[in-house]
A and B are shown apart, each in its own frame.
Chain A
Amino acid sequence: QSALTQPPSASGSPGQSVTISCTGTSSDVGAYNHVSWYQQHPGKAPKLMIFEVSKRPSGVPDRFSGSKSDNTASLTVSGLQAEDEADYYCSSYAGINYWLFGGGTKLTVL
């Protein structure tokens, strides 16, 4: 299986909204509602931001939202703040107890 496809970079100004896509196939993203999103600041461990396509763990601001259409999942960050600048990774269950990650998107707050 190949990694999920994410754009290498995205950017927005403070207060704006930005959407990051994550494209898979009908065998992973399209087949299951088991898509998650992780935020990783430089030198730090990843942090879960979204699970099961659109659910937020306790403590994650509601500025972060997730959705899915066919084989593509999306993470939207609304009301961008400086601390949102980080790398973002999607992941999806791919069947037969196998998980895939995306290549990551570097979000820059201008």
Chain B
Amino acid sequence: EVQLVESGGGLVQPGGSLTLSCAASGFTFSTSWMTWVRQAPGKGLEWVANIKEDGSQKDYLASVKGRFTISRDNAKNSLFLQMNSLRAEDTAVYYCTTHHKWTFDFWGQGTVVTVSS
């Protein structure tokens, strides 16, 4: 059974930093593209970033490019999202997802990030 467990969310001040983690199990992590998707309170879903199986390709939403960094550790079956220069509009639930056949097939339960002073 595929399991994705996010952690690392919390309350941070504007301009601050936070690193999210996603622990994966139940599938071959090292051969899977991975993605972060977020959902602001009461709003829809928004794709944030992708990373290729070996980490050689990373893609970002325009509004987070230069501030967020997606990375992975295939030896530890883990996905990360380093978030710097956080803004109020980054407040959201952040979901870790697998990415297969141009779709996001399995989702974690999410971790809440709140950017506020």
Residues of chain A touching chain B, judged by Cβ–Cβ distance below 8 Å, are 3, 32, 34, 36, 38, 44-48, 51-52, 57, 89, 91, 93, 97-104
Contact (Cβ within 8 A) A46 B105 = no
In the assembly, what is the distance between CA of A102 and CA of B107, in Å?
A: 17
Chain B interface residue bracket vs A: 20 to 34
Provide a sorted-by-A list of 21 A–B residue pairs whose CB atoms are within 8 angstroms. Answer: A36-B103, A36-B104, A44-B109, A45-B108, A46-B107, A48-B104, A48-B105, A48-B107, A51-B101, A52-B102, A91-B45, A97-B57, A99-B50, A100-B47, A101-B45, A101-B46, A101-B47, A102-B44, A103-B43, A103-B44, A104-B45
Residues of B near A51 (CB, < 8 A) are 101-103, 105
Number of A-B contacts (CB under 8 A): 61
Classify the interface of chain B: helix, strand, loop or mixed. loop
What 10 A-B pairs are tightest by C-beta distance, nearest first?
A34-B102, A97-B59, A51-B103, A99-B47, A36-B103, A45-B107, A101-B45, A104-B44, A103-B44, A48-B105
